[in-house]
A and B are shown apart, each in its own frame.
Chain A
Amino acid sequence: MTTATPEQSEAGAPPAAPPAAPAADRLRRLARWWPAALLLVLLTAPWSSLPLPGLLDGPLGSPGSLQLIALCLLFGALATGYDLLLGRTGLLSFGHALYFATGTYATNTVMLQAGLPFLPSALLGLLAGVLLAALLGSVSLRMSGIGFSMVTLAFAQAGSILVERDPGGFTGGEEGRAAPADRLPAALVGIEHTANLYWIALAYLVLTLAVVHRVVRSPTGRVWEGIRENERRVEVLGLRPYGFKLVAFVLAGALAALGGVVYLLLTGGATPQTTTSDFTLSLLVMVVLGGSGTRWGPLVGGVLYTWADHRLGDLAGSGAVAGLPAVLRVPLSQPLFLLGTLFVLVVYLLPGGVVRLPDRLRAARGRSRPAAERSRRVTR
């Protein structure tokens, strides 16, 4: 890394800082291990019965809570993969839902129609997602800027229409199709096995984070960064941005398709909601909410969004909202209205997302302190 990125300032002490006491230094070095500690906590969550009132409905280890946390982790991972395009390469794709839905629908359809067991079906589903991303990516990357966004949106819309129209009865139309319980491994079916599904979602998250962080630091990742900053300059250097963009597109598509397979396990079926443009837009909201182009931002955004989405749904249906006057009750009963408004506010008030908030607060404090000192001197 030659440039100063926010990741660096997050992870370590600034190099110009005065030598700190050894105890504080050791503490800071320990603090660097927080992702590993968090992972350990997450791994052991199913055995915990810690109640988190307000945050979750039941204790931490109850199936309902585990299901919600698993969804949060899944969408955190999905947003991290999506940010490979948006934050790392500067490609605003509006069709990411298509590859996610391909993972879900293709796996489910292979299990239902061909009668294959889960693992080969999942591999085929993943392959379908990768091939589709390669095909559609190679066409839509012929456009640049907003044109690319519109074309990806059009392709995703075509997929959504196809799923809704239900040709040959493969997709189940608006109802979607439940996954066949007899084709799935027994350890992944039923409410008493929620912990296993939770661990799968966690594994998917760790895999996505590992892949994204690794490739972003690779030479290819540097080129992506260059494309994001100035595509023309990359071209002048003798590299073809098209190929690099296609690699990013296919990799993000593959991660999304894998996420689709995990989603199929987690929710026990394929639903047409995952194919809609609203679904891609919600991924976009997650990334921007958390902080695009940062190491943990999309993950934080995905977790926050998914949690808020579920809890807002509960809030909207709760007695507290029903008792409000109509002016407040009507908009508050619509989670999408709340999310849309929240998104506009985040774009305005939090450029850089939630993860940039501590930095911004620190900067604001740093700016106000000398000002306060100066004013004191003047008054004296």
Chain B
Amino acid sequence: MSTVVLLTLTGLGLGALYFLVASGLSLIFGLMDVLNFAHGALLSVGAYGTWWAASGHLPGAGSDGFGFVLAVAFGTAAGTLAAVLLELAVIRPLYERPREQVLATVGVGLAVPALLSAIWGADARPFPGPAALSGTFGLLGAQVPVNRLVLIAAALAVLAVLKVFLGRTRHGLVVRAGVEDRAMVTALGIDVRKAFTLVFAIGGAAAALGGALGGLYFGSVDPGQGTSLLIFAFVVVVMGGMGSVGGAARASVAVGLVQQFANYYTTAGLGDLAVVVLLAALLLVRPSGLTGRLA
């Protein structure tokens, strides 16, 4: 029983991490048809920003208490800024050429991790997390690491904010309409390009937050972390149905749980394979993903 509880919460924590990356990815894809290969780089920017601030480089920020919150905020802000810059400098000039937009993000996705490893080295750096979040707590006989709960809470908060934003605000309405039919929104005289920048900012913020909290989850940051998480986020986006945030949420939970349980009950590493098998099986049954949206 205690093992199942531990695996469930750990799996949900991992799923939360995937959701933070996949939600922005899914929105960007749904709105712009751009598969953002630089999304992992945004996550790395968030992770390194937080690590940099929490290691005492930013006045007021630190590895404990409010200082850590400030460090996470700094990392998230850095990721958001990077995302906006990416949209303005790389994506926007290639407007109306989706394939070349994808290719340009591939280039950025190669260059940014290389730059990070040039500055801070290719090896993993220990992540200075607050002592309050590094412990465990007892639940139904299982000793669960506290940071898993932080991740789940953050993902739920992001999901709620996204739901409110998409469902209740005017900008959200434009984004939702753009995901459904970009040409129609443009024909109505609404500037979709502003929505693009906005969606990139949101996606970048979520990914950077994922990077900051991923540092807690893994206990370290390294330049390749973003890219490896990105691939599972891709799986989540495909499984959830392209462009659907709710689908991404359900798929991240499924992927996180399957991965953890398969890793524990079979040999380590088989969980990653199980995820891909799950994806293949789902595609054979429902080629359009969980929510039935066609790519």
Q: Which residues of A contact B (CB under 8 A)?
A: 92, 139-140, 142-147, 149-151, 153-155, 157-158, 161-162, 164-165, 167, 277-278, 281, 284-285, 288, 330-331, 333-337, 339-344, 347-348, 351
Give B102-132 as 1s and 0s: 1 = Cβ < 8 Å from A's Cβ atoms.
1110111111111101110000000000000
Determine if B287 is an interface residue (Cβ-Cβ < 8 Å). Answer: yes
**Docked-complex contact A162 and B103, CB < 8 angstroms:** no
**Docked-complex contact A344 and B111, CB < 8 angstroms:** yes
Q: Which residue of A lies closest to B287 (CB)?
A: A142
With contact pairs A92-B99, A145-B295, A334-B118 given, residues A344 and B107 touching in the complex (Cβ less than 8 Å): yes
With contact pairs A139-B283, A146-B35, A343-B110 given, residues A155 and B238 touching in the complex (Cβ less than 8 Å): no
Q: What's the Cα separation between A153 and B275 when bound, in Å?
A: 13
Q: List 22 A-B contacts (CB under 8 A).
A: A139-B284, A142-B284, A145-B295, A146-B33, A150-B234, A151-B279, A154-B235, A157-B272, A162-B269, A162-B273, A278-B227, A281-B106, A285-B107, A333-B118, A336-B111, A336-B113, A336-B114, A339-B110, A344-B90, A344-B107, A347-B100, A348-B93
With contact pairs A151-B279, A340-B110 given, residues A348 and B104 touching in the complex (Cβ less than 8 Å): yes
Q: What's the Cα separation between A248 and B287 when bound, in Å?
A: 21
Q: What's the Cα separation between A153 and B231 when bound, in Å?
A: 7
Contact of A340 among B35, B94, B114, B237 (CB under 8 A): B114
Q: List B residues 225-276 near A (Cβ within 8 Å).
A: 227, 231, 234-235, 237-238, 242, 267-269, 272-273, 275-276
**Smallest beta-carbon distance A2→chain B, Å:** 25
Contact of B276 among A157, A343, A348 (CB under 8 A): A157
Interface of B is mostly: helix
**Docked-complex contact B93 and A284, CB < 8 angstroms:** no
Give B74-108 as 1s and 0s: 1 = Cβ < 8 Å from A's Cβ atoms.
00000000000000001001100001101110111
Determine if B217 is an interface residue (Cβ-Cβ < 8 Å). Answer: no
Contact of A341 among B100, B111, B267 (CB under 8 A): B111
Q: What's the Cα separation between A219 and B93 when bound, in Å?
A: 38
In the complex, which residues of chain B have a beta carbon less than 8 angstroms from the beta carbon of A285?
Answer: 106-107, 110
With contact pairs A146-B242, A147-B242, A154-B238 given, residues A284 and B114 touching in the complex (Cβ less than 8 Å): no
Determine if B164 is an interface residue (Cβ-Cβ < 8 Å). Answer: no
In the complex, which residues of chain B have a beta carbon less than 8 angstroms from the beta carbon of A139?
Answer: 280, 283-284
**Smallest beta-carbon distance A83→chain B, Å:** 14
In the complex, which residues of chain A have a beta carbon less than 8 angstroms from the beta carbon of B111?
Answer: 336-337, 339-341, 344
**Docked-complex contact B231 and A344, CB < 8 angstroms:** no
Q: What's the Cα separation between A208 and B269 when bound, in Å?
A: 36
Q: Which residue of A lies closest to B289 (CB)?
A: A147
